[in-house]
């Protein structure tokens, strides 16, 4: 216990105390600057549930949290299968695909903001190949902006899931695959009947991590659009930041953050329970 105490003290100071303080402030009208505040009890939470802007931000956040994990895991698994082969450049390609995952999200967001701009790389390439009709205001069109951001997030973190799936693929016993081949299974059948069920632990890790990232995403949205145009790309994370720091409604912003934390915890717990059951069934 004596060896645990220093780490436990640091954890309490850096994690539990700020969490408890934030939970208290969520029930107040603190503006972030004044020395005192008044308890408003559940008024902030009622406002979160009734404010159209907050509900729109929640829907956008959930859309990212649903579509991003699907796209990331499908792309990551595809890359892992492709790079689990014996092609000579597989190690270089693994590094290239994983690199975006370790780069700063804000830097990548500004890079993609230029790519998506009206005179940026994407529209220039489309014009170069004669597809002028497909040129768009990618971040200026409310119907396209959120999807453009989802593509950026997927591009950044696909390499992360690829590495986890690669580790899972390399742990699949070759004897089982050889037995399936002897029994006459095609490569397609061998993958979906043998390999994929054995990747259940990797699937669990990737889906939970990508869902949490989707529910917490902030940097890319704020750097690329600031929540615009209008509130087309405003997520709950951006909404809470603007309310707390731009409008001086720190208590309300903290309440939004607490609601988001509860959503993340609930979604993660349900996913873990469901995916663990699938792991047990697969084993």
pLDDT, tens digit, for every residue of 224-273?
A: 999 989 899 999 999 999 999 999 999 999 999 999 999 999 999 998 88
Assess whether pLDDT exceeds 80 at residue 4.
yes
Do residues 126 and 134 make contact, with C-beta atoms less than 8 angstroms apart?
A: yes
pLDDT at 32: 85
pLDDT at 282: 65
Assess whether pLDDT exceeds 90 at residue 21.
no
Q: How far apart are CA 30 and CA 122, in angstroms?
A: 45
- Confidence band, pLDDT 50/70/90 cuts, at residue 30: very high
Q: How far apart are CA 262 and CA 237, in angstroms?
A: 13
- Confidence band, pLDDT 50/70/90 cuts, at residue 135: very high
Q: How far apart are CA 210 and CA 160, in angstroms?
A: 9
Q: How far apart are CA 278 and CA 283, in angstroms?
A: 9
pLDDT at 35: 83
pLDDT tens, residue by residue, 83-99: 998 888 889 999 999 99
Q: Which CATH superfamily is domain 57-282 in?
A: MetI-like (1.10.3720.10)
Q: How far apart are CA 200 and CA 198, in angstroms?
A: 5
Instruction: Look at the pTM and tell me if it is higher than 0.85.
Output: yes
Q: Where are the alpha helices (DSSP H) in 199-235?
A: 200-216, 219-224
- Eight-state DSSP code of residue 259: H
| Burial (Cβ within 10 Å: 0-12, 13-18, ≥19) of residue 272 | middle
Q: At 202, phi and psi to the nearest 5? A: -65, -40
Do residues 255 and 48 make contact, with C-beta atoms less than 8 angstroms apart?
A: yes
Find out whether the peptide bond into 229 is cis, omega within 30 degrees of 0. yes
Bridge partners, 28 (sequence order): 39
Assess whether pLDDT exceeds 70 at residue 110.
yes
Assess whether pLDDT exceeds 80 at residue 177.
yes
pLDDT at 181: 87
Number of H helices and E strands in the chain, helices first, is 15, 0
Residues 34, 39, 44: CA angle, nearest 5 degrees = 95
Please state, rounded to an integer, the average pLDDT across all residues of the chain.
Answer: 92
Residue 193 CB neighbours (<10 A):
12
Do residues 268 and 211 make contact, with C-beta atoms less than 8 angstroms apart?
A: yes
pLDDT at 187: 86
Q: What six digits make up the tokens of 179? A: 């037995």
Q: How far apart are CA 277 and CA 270, in angstroms?
A: 11
Assess whether pLDDT exceeds 70 at residue 283.
no
Whole-Å CA distances, 214 to 39, 55, 124, 232, 233: 32, 17, 30, 16, 13
């Amino acid at each position: 216990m004596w060896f645990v105490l220093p780490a436990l003290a640091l954890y309490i100071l850096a994690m539990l105390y700020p969490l408890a303080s934030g939970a208290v402030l969520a029930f107040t009208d603190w503006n972030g600057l004044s020395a005192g505040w008044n308890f408003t009890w559940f008024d902030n939470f009622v406002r979160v549930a009734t404010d159209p802007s907050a509900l729109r931000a929640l829907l956008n956040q959930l859309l990212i949290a649903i579509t991003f994990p699907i796209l990331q895991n499908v792309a990551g698994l595809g890359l892992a299968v492709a790079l689990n082969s014996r092609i000579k450049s597989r190690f270089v390609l693994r590094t290239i695909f994983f690199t975006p995952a370790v780069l700063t999200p804000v830097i990548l967001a500004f890079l993609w903001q230029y790519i998506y701009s009206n005179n940026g790389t994407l529209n220039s390439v489309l014009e170069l190949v004669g597809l002028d009709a497909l040129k768009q205001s990618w971040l200026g069109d409310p119907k396209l902006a959120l999807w453009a951001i989802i593509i950026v997030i997927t591009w950044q973190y696909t390499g992360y899931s690829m590495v986890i799936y690669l580790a899972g693929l390399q742990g699949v016993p070759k004897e089982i695959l050889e037995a399936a081949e002897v029994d006459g299974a095609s490569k397609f059948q061998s993958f979906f009947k043998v390999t994929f069920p054995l990747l259940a632990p990797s699937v669990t890790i990737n889906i939970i991590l990508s869902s949490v990232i989707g529910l917490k995403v902030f940097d890319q949205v704020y750097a690329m659009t600031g929540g615009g145009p209008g509130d087309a790309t405003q997520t709950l994370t951006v909404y809470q930041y603007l309310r707390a720091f731009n409008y001086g409604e720190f208590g309300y912003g903290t309440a939004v953050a607490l609601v988001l934390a509860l959503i993340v915890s609930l979604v993660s717990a349900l996913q873990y329970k469901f995916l663990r059951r699938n792991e047990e069934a697969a084993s």
